Amino acid sequence: MNMEELQYGRRNFFLALLLLCYRLLYTTDIKPLSGTYPVRKPEIPYEKSRNNQRYHRNPLPVHSGIFSRPLSGAGRGCRHFIVSPPAEGNWGLSFREDGKPPVANASFEELAKYNAFYAENTQEKVLYLTFDCGFENGNTPAILDALKKHNVKATFFIVGNYLETSPDLVKRMLDEGHIVGNHSYHHPDMSQMDKEAFTKELGELETLYEQTFGQPMQKFYRPPQGKYSANNLQIASDLGYKTFFWSLAYVDWEQDNQPTHEEAFNKLLKRVHPGAIVLLHNTSKTNGEILDELLTKWEEMGYSFRSLTQLPGVENN
């Protein structure tokens, strides 16, 4: 075999390898678990994907030189993986059995190293309600009304724009006993930020919050877009933050394609499980309309509600 034939053979080998990788990456049909918000103001660089649908996107991650395994049952436009120690990229869940905790990117023990949580490891029927607040579109008052009626204390993770434009609603959250957490100022992908940039992004919202309410912000953090890395989990912990992912969510953030009440109940009642941290979006018209009934249905199933401050491991750190 001469040199030209050898080079030709090598080229064909690498082309075949690239084709194989492409098929592995893009032929699995999976579904998104949480989205980003639509761009309301230019200062908030929310990510948008094709057809205005919002998905977390990340390349196939490599951890310690080994490709991670994709989760089954997830959908189009994103990929979720299981890696140990905690996977880096997008938070993802695989729901394999109704009423049971999903398989997540990382275990309780792995996340605990970083003061991070996604659920309570328990058989007790308790739930922890959380809301991500990117902007206000009129649904939050109904959400607060339903929480007050059921005496449920939730956590609202806000961004800078929300506090700037809706300080009255944030004050109501506080006055009614809810926690207000840090979802970053501008809602960027913080997974690859260095410590200086990461600290600045959280610190700007802390400063605005303290200037507005005259008290320090609760150091509860939810990664924007669900994107994270072991490094920024460590940075958050070093800054005194507890990081909160979730174990129950559904596609509720698409403003022009809101789920019906039946679709929402179908997801949230079947997938609820003991110890769940529930993620809902305040921007969802459906959530505002169904929350009172949803809380009633969960109560009828035997569930009670607790604040994230009562989550085991949180109060002891």
Catalytic amino acids?
132, 281
SS3 of 96, please? coil
Q: Which parts of the chain fold into alpha helices (H)?
A: 3-26, 108-112, 140-149, 160-165, 167-175, 195-213, 230-238, 261-270, 285-300
Strand partners, 69: 82
The HSE-up count of residue 37 (CA atoms within 13 Å, CB side) is: 28
Contacts from 36-40 at CB under 8 Å and sequence distance 24+? 36/134, 36/187, 36/224, 36/225, 36/253, 37/134, 37/135, 37/187, 37/253, 37/281, 37/283, 38/255, 40/134, 40/135, 40/161
Question: How far apart (Å, rounded) are the C-alpha atoms in residues 28 and 316?
Answer: 41
